[in-house]
């Protein structure tokens, strides 16, 4: 069984689709097709020819193959993205600064209110709280604003052809074609991220087959629509089948004991529903981020325990001031969210070089003091 959880493990993805000013860009955005363009590749074309027989033996009809593979192309940017995934452990504080910033919470409460009646109906059917489903929506696609528009067939075919995880992505390609075969969507609407995650809550094709539902009753499990109903219900169905216990909390902040993701930072007591969220993405940071965002969307307040200084001796307030001052001096950090990702570190290095220091890209209290 290949689920979204396996996908995240195989791609090394953080599942962090929300945009951060100081970090790498999301896997795909609505303008992604301007960068992800197919190029001629004779070997890829031969692979597609050989794939047709395997797809047919998997139950894909000739009509679906003709429609689904019409215009399929090799996407070199997909290979580049796959080869250059950054492997690092993001602190929980940084993760929260991205997925549950005050700006995102404000926008999320508006989106939550707009979809409240649908989310309440979904909760009534599946037993998963409306705010938890909305929080996953927020983490995965920034409440539907960053769903991706890369052709899923081309993306999964490119990765299957590449061969590094060929068997896995060929399964995703076949599942994508089966989605077309059932009539849930059309080839031009079958779009997603660079690795094939789709829709408002970023289902991969095999997870779609297992968990997607037709909540609107129109005969299609449409997770790509501007109306997020089917996608949100599909996420609730996923959590329900992953062991979600109705009327039980995901967890809560505690003052002692419990789970402490960052040394010196907040602690949490968690239960079965925390584990259910981890079935969606097997990451403590992800599950805690979803849980906290869900609390904030429902009107809850910030965490009570503050985070201490980072390994550089800087608090998040210090890091934001550092980004603000660098940007004011012409060294663009991409924003001031307090998360020192690649763009911020490049700006630090450029500033250091401009004043005759070694361009290490490493922040420090002394560097901040020099900028003030």
359 Cβ neighbours under 8 A, 6+ residues apart: 349, 350, 352, 353
What is residue 100's predicted lDDT score, i.e. its pLDDT? 97
What is residue 28's predicted lDDT score, i.e. its pLDDT? 36
Instruction: Give the pLDDT band of residue 65 (cuts 50, 70, 90).
Output: very high
Instruction: With H, G, I as helix, E, B as strand and everything else as coil, classify residue 253.
Output: strand
Q: Residue 169 and residue 53: Cα distance in Å, rounded?
A: 16
What is residue 23's predicted lDDT score, i.e. its pLDDT? 34
Nearest to 32 by CA among 176, 203, 146, 168: 146
H-state helical runs in 58-151: 62-69, 76-83, 92-99, 102-114, 116-126, 130-141
Q: Which residues of 280-305 are buried (b: 16+ CB within 10 A; e: fewer)?
A: bbbbbbbbbbbbbbbbbbeeeeebee
CB 203 within 8 A of CB 197: yes
Instruction: Note the pLDDT tens digit of each residue in 153-177.
Output: 999 999 999 998 999 999 999 999 9
Q: What is the mean pLDDT of the chain?
A: 92
What is residue 84's predicted lDDT score, i.e. its pLDDT? 80
What is residue 86's predicted lDDT score, i.e. its pLDDT? 54
User: Would you kindly state where each structural domain of the chain is located, as residue ranges?
Assistant: 4-241, 316-371
Instruction: Note the pLDDT tens digit of each residue in 227-270.
Output: 999 999 999 999 999 999 999 999 999 999 999 999 999 999 99
Distance of CA 298 to the CA centre of its chain: 22
What is residue 4's predicted lDDT score, i.e. its pLDDT? 76
Distance of CA 8 to the CA centre of its chain: 10
Is the model's pLDDT at 106 over the cut of 60? yes
Q: Residue 206 and residue 169: Cα distance in Å, rounded?
A: 10
pTM of the model: 0.91
What is residue 7's predicted lDDT score, i.e. its pLDDT? 72
Q: Residue 68 and residue 54: Cα distance in Å, rounded?
A: 15
Is the model's pLDDT at 34 over the cut of 70? no
Is the model's pLDDT at 24 over the cut of 90? no
Q: Residue 155 and residue 315: Cα distance in Å, rounded?
A: 40
Counts for the chain of helices (H) and strands (E), in that order: 17, 4
For the chain, the 3-state helix, strand and coil shares in percent, each to the nearest 5, are 50, 5, 45
Instruction: Give the pLDDT band of residue 9 (cuts 50, 70, 90).
Output: low
Instruction: Note the pLDDT tens digit of each residue in 265-280.
Output: 999 999 999 999 999 9
**Percent of the chain at pLDDT exceeding 90:** 88
């Amino acid at each position: 069984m290949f689920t979204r959880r396996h996908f995240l493990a195989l791609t090394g993805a953080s599942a962090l689709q929300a945009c951060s000013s100081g970090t790498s860009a999301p896997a795909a955005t609505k303008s992604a097709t301007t960068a992800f363009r197919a190029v001629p590749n004779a070997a890829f074309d031969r692979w597609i020819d050989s794939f047709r027989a395997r797809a047919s033996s998997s139950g894909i009809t000739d009509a679906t193959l003709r429609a689904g593979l019409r215009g399929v192309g090799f996407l070199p940017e997909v290979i580049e993205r796959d080869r250059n995934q950054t492997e690092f452990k993001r602190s929980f504080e940084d993760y929260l600064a991205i997925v549950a910033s005050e700006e995102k919470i404000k926008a999320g409460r508006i989106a939550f209110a707009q979809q409240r009646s649908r989310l309440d109906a979904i909760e009534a059917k599946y037993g998963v709280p409306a705010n938890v489903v909305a929080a996953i929506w927020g983490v995965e696609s920034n409440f539907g604003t960053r769903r991706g528009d890369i052709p899923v067939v081309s993306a999964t075919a490119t990765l299957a052809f590449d061969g590094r995880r060929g068997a896995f992505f060929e399964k995703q390609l076949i599942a994508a074609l089966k989605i077309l075969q059932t009539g849930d969507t059309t080839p031009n609407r079958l779009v997603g991220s660079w690795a094939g995650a789709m829709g408002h809550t970023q289902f991969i094709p095999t997870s779609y087959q297992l968990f997607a539902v037709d909540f609107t009753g129109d005969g299609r499990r449409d997770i790509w629509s501007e109306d997020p109903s089917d996608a949100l219900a599909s996420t609730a169905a996923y959590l329900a089948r992953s062991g979600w216990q109705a009327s039980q909390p995901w967890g809560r902040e505690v003052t002692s004991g419990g789970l402490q993701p960052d040394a010196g930072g907040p602690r949490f007591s968690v239960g079965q529903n925390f584990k259910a969220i981890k079935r969606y993405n097997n990451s403590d940071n992800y599950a805690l981020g979803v849980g906290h965002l869900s609390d904030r969307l429902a009107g809850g307040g910030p965490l009570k325990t503050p985070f201490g200084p980072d390994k550089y001796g800087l608090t998040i307030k210090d890091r934001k001031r550092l980004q603000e001052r660098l940007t004011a001096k012409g060294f663009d950090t991409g924003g001031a969210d307090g998360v020192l990702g690649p763009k911020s570190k490049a700006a630090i290095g450029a500033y250091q070089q401009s004043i005759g220091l070694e361009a290490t890209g490493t922040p420090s209290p002394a560097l901040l003091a020099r900028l003030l």
